[in-house]
Amino acid sequence: MIHLNQVGFCVDMPKKAIITGKGENCFVISADNEVVFKPSITDPHFDAASGDTVRIVDFTEVRKPGTYFLFADGLKKTFYINELPYRTLTSALVKAMYYQRCGCALEEKYAGCFRHNICHASKAVLVDDKGIIDNSVVLDVSGGWHDAGDYGRYIVPGAVAVGHMLYAYEFFPKAFQDELNIPESGNGVPDILNECRYKLEWMIKMQREDGGVYHKVTTRYFVPFIMPEDDHEDLLLFRVTHTATADFAAVLAQACRVYKAYDKTFSEQMLKASIRAWDWLERNPEFEPFVNPPNTNTGPYGDKNCEDEIFWAACELYNATKEECYWKSMRSLIDKVDISKLGWPDVGGLGSLCCLFSSENLDADFTNKLTERFLAAADRFYTKHQLSGYGTVLEADEYIWGSILPIMSNAIVLICAKLLTGKDEYQIAAQAQLDYMLGMNATGYSFVTGFGENAYRFPHHRPSYADNVDDPVPGLVSGGPNKNYPDRACKDLIPPETPPAKFYLDHTWTASANEIAIYWNSPAIFVTAYFNSLTINKKGY
C-alpha cells in the first residue's frame, strides 16, 4: 500500500510517502503522463505500532505546483503540490466550530445543507453531588459549542480548545485572513476570534457570582442520535470545580490580551472575570476532583489534580497584570507540572507558551530552565518520530482514546521548538504529524471529514448521522486509532490481534475510535496555520 498526505504538499517542503511493498517501479508521474522523478526509497523498517514493514519514499525534489501520481509496486496514489495547500483546510477546521454552535439556529446561508433550528435554549437547573435537583439555582447558560459527538458543553475541554485557537491566531495571524461565512463575518474582527468569542461569552455565563465556575451543562444522559433541536431533555448544571475555574481563569486572561485591540470593554470584562475565578481558587485551596453524580452519565472530564491548570492560569494572569501573587504561584508550580502537555487533562504546555512567547521581562533563570525543559521534551518527541515507521510521535502503547490529540499537541511543541531554535528537524517532525492526520498513517484514512481522497465519512457525531445529508459535516477531526480503551463496537468488529495504529473503524457507532471533539480540531488549527504561514510570509499572500 501507499500512504501519503492526501490534501497537499507545500512547494518547498519535504514530500514523503510510506509504502509497505518493495518499492518496485517507483515513479512520480505528472498529470499529463510524463515521468518527472524517480524517488529515493529507504531500506525496510519494522514499525511496531502498526505491525508493518515500511519504506519511506522521498520526492521532495518535485516542486512545481500541480497534480501528480506516485506509482509503486503496481499501485497508484494521487498527490498535490500547492503554494498554500492548507489554506482551505485551516478555514474548514475553524468553521467546524461554527457547526458545533449551541443555543442558536444554524441558518442555511451560513451552514448550507448542515443547517438546523435553535437548540438547547432552555434554562439549566443545578444537580448536586447526590444527583438530586436543586431548584434554587436555575440559570440561562445557552450558547457555546457542543463538545464532541454529543450535545454536552464543558468548561475544561472548551477552555483548552479556545486556548489552542487563540495561540494559533497570536502566532500566525496572517493564516486567518479569510472570511468563513459565519454570522459575524465582515465585522472587522478575524473570524477565528469571532468564533472563539461565541464560546467565551458562554463561559462567562457559567461563572458564579463568587467567582467559581460550573463544570458543565448537559442532559442527565447522552441522548440518542437525533438532531440538536430535537433534544428536549432537561438541562442540568453541574457543580463548581477547581479545574473548570482554573481553566476559565487562564483562557479569559489570555483572551483579554488578544481581544484588547478589537473590543476593549470585552477585554476588561474577561480580565475581571478571570481575576474573580482566581480569587475563588485562593479562597478554596482544597482540591475536590469531579465525578458524575449518581444517575447521570455524560462526559466527566475529571482530573487527579489541579496544579497544571493553576499554573496555566497564573502564567496568563501574570502576563496580564504583572502582580506578584501570580508570579509566586508560577514559581511554586513550575517543577510540579509537565510543561509540554497541551491536552485537556494536562495544560502545563499552555502555560509554557505564555511564558516563552507572550510574556516579557520574566526572570532569566526561570525562563532559561523552562526553555531547557521544553526543548528536552521536543527532543523526546523528535526521537519518537525517528523511531516510528510512519514518523508518528507516538509509541505503540500510546494509541489512546483520541490519539490524534497527543499527535497534534506534540506537533505544536515541535513547531514551538523550531521557533525557539530555528532547527529544521523540529519542523520536519511536525510536518510528519500533519501528514499523519491527512493520510500518511497505517489506516490509510485522512482523519478530517471532507479532505482527502480517502477521508473518513462516518464520524460518531449526532448531527452528521441525523441530518439526512449523505456527507458528514466538513472539517471534523477524528480521534483515530485507540486500542487502550476500545468500546463495544471496536471489540466486536476489530480482530483483537490488530496492532494499535490500525485499531480503527470508520463507523458511526464507535465513540472510542471515531468520535470528533472541539479539542481535536483546535491543535490541528494551530499546526495547519503554521505551515500556511510559512508560505504566506515568503510570498506575501
Residue 515 known to be catalytic: yes
In which element (H, E) is residue 138 found?
Answer: strand 133-139
Task: Show the DSSP H helices in 260-401 as ranges.
Answer: 264-283, 307-321, 324-333, 348-353, 364-387
Query: What letter does residue 493 receive in the DSSP assignment?
Result: H
Catalytic residue, candidates 460, 461, 467, 487:
460
Q: Is 120 part of the annotated catalytic residue set?
A: no
Nearest of 301, 94, 120 to residue 205 by alpha carbon:
120
Cα distances from 77 to residues 67, 80, 470, 484, 502, in angstroms, run 11, 10, 25, 31, 20
- How much of the chain is in helix, strand and coil states, percent to nearest 5? 45, 15, 40
**Those residues with Cβ within 8 angstroms of residue 393's Cβ, 6 or more apart along the chain or in another chain:** 381, 382, 384, 385, 406, 407, 410, 411, 414, 429, 432, 433
Three-state DSSP at 317 gives helix
List Cα–Cα distances, 213 to 119, 173, 333, 347, 418, in angstroms: 23, 30, 22, 18, 36
Of 47, 147, 150, 467, catalytic: 150
Residue 37 is placed in which grid cell?
522523478
CA distances for 187 relative to 107, 181, 190, 262, 364, angstroms: 18, 11, 8, 10, 41
DSSP per-residue codes, 341-362: --SSS--HHHHHHIIIII--S-
d(C-alpha 207, C-alpha 194), whole Å: 21
Three cell numbers at 378?
Answer: 521536543
Q: Which of 52, 307, 308, 515 is catalytic?
A: 515
Establish whether 397 is a catalytic residue.
no
Neighbours of 246 (CB within 10 A): 30
Dist. CA 447–CA 480, nearest whole Å: 7
The one-letter amino acid code at 168 reads A
**Residue 117's CB: how many other CB atoms inside 10 A?**
12
Q: What pairs with residue 300 in β-bridges?
A: none
Q: Which of 184, 338, 425, 506 is catalytic?
A: 506
Amino acid identity at 246: A
Radius of gyration in angstroms for the set of CA atoms belonging to the chain, rounded to a whole number? 23
506 is catalytic: yes
| Rounded Cα distance, 391 and 411, in Å | 12
Q: Are 325 and 279 in contact (CB under 8 A)?
A: no
Residues acting as catalytic residues: 150, 460, 506, 515
